Structure 1
Amino acid sequence: MSEVYSVELENIVKRFGNVVAVDHVSLKIKENEFFSLLGPSGCGKTTTLRIIAGLEEPDEGLVKLYGKDVTDVPTHKRNIGMVFQHLALFPHMNVFENIAFGLKMRKLPREEIKREVKKILEIVKLEGLEDRRVNQLSGGQQQRVALARALVINPEVLLLDEPLGALDLKIRQHMMVELKNIQKKVKTTFIYVTHDQTEAMTMSDRIAIMKDGRVQQVDTPLGVYYKPSNMFVASFIGEAVNLIEGE
């Protein structure tokens, strides 16, 4: 059986003035894969994610979703969900209304909205909090609301940009395991941007390590750890990594 790729990038180049932020990046991300873009600040990982989302246009190259060229397709016509570090939840709405927002925009019948929101609340373990205002929730709970809101529309791909960055260490460690478990349950491709080696090594099926706009290596966590492709990868992955299997 031939491999199904949910996202393919072919020779993507993005310049901002004289700076080449993304420098001939080519990636093939498999269906239902947890794929991380890992690298230090300014390496081009967030720009790459924004190009997949359609929030930035590449100067060169192609973006494909499930084999279809979407390079010129606007964000709202790409079937993708997004979760950013700044969650952009609606403070005047409760948990249910926040999660249901995308479904209401798509004009789904009220009963179907209720059913879909109930289903995703169970997956992200927020049952019983539907009527809670988001400003009454903990950081970890707000993160789950943002995840639920992005996943309830049933996207083909979920893009996550440093989503755990604002959480304290203990909650972050717990959310890493949770995120991986949620991804397994919903069976959706997750593309995850982080500068944190432990996050990438813990959750990913494969990792693309970036530096100066270029991909240095694409491999499994064990692959980049035991067989780094160059000195940068070896030093960046370093000694202090911990491989945790999702429950």
Structure 2
Amino acid sequence: MSWNLCGIELGSPLVAASGPLGWGKEFFEIFSTDGLGLFIPKTVTLKPKVGNPPPRIVETTGGLINSIGLENDGVYEWLKLEDLYRSLDIPVMASIAGGSLEELSTLGEIMEKLDYIAGVELNLSCPNVEGENWSNNTTSVLEATREVRKTYSRLLFVKLPPKDNIFPYIEASRSGGADGFTLFNTLPACDRIKGGLSGPAIKPVYIRLLKEIMEEIDIPVMASGGVMTEKDVRDYLYLGVKAVQIGTAFFKDPDIAKRIYQELQ
């Protein structure tokens, strides 16, 4: 199978979503890229972030609630993984987030110089970072997207949260220069901790939202939310999305992409 994501040729429609596999170093020391068409490392910020205090993850009916808070060692540590990303036999798309327009501009400038990444996913949707949720209003979405676009000229996807009134946010991001969208990040929830719900419980909600979007707007979309099986992937592809991200399922089966890809064929 061959898939095209805004000019990037993918050998599979399956994408390793940002987060569960970290930056990839430990995962790819043990497991292969079999079944994957694209890898998106855990979101990187300009400076290191310690994240939220524990507990950070709670298992709940039909999924997980996480409140990691974008913990990472910062972009300059992430840049040390260049050799790893060049060695992978699938494209890599960086995921970035920032607490200010200046940070986003600097991150875009850094990413512009990297010929080993296929694009950038701008994370405007993390529900677990105090004061850094750009998706609270359309003006912030527009400004954040535009700021990255000023310094980054290549493929730019924007990751948004699930919202019933999502259309103005999509249009704001398109006006800012987004080429496509990752829909959606986790669903805000609470069960002992407040955080983002992922896993099979959210899929029916996201299918409904995506169906409405794809029927109204012709935009490149990577779907994300609740994918555990080959049927889940087909349900999203049927809506017309370009690719389907897998996240929480990796915790259950690190070889999930390989198995689903074989079943798709």
TM-score interval (norm. to shorter): 0.3 to 0.5
Larger Rg: 1
More strand by share: 1
Q: What TM-score do the two structures reach when normalised by structure 2?
A: 0.39
Question: Structure with the greater relative contact order (CA < 8 A, sep ≥ 6): 1 or 2?
Answer: 1
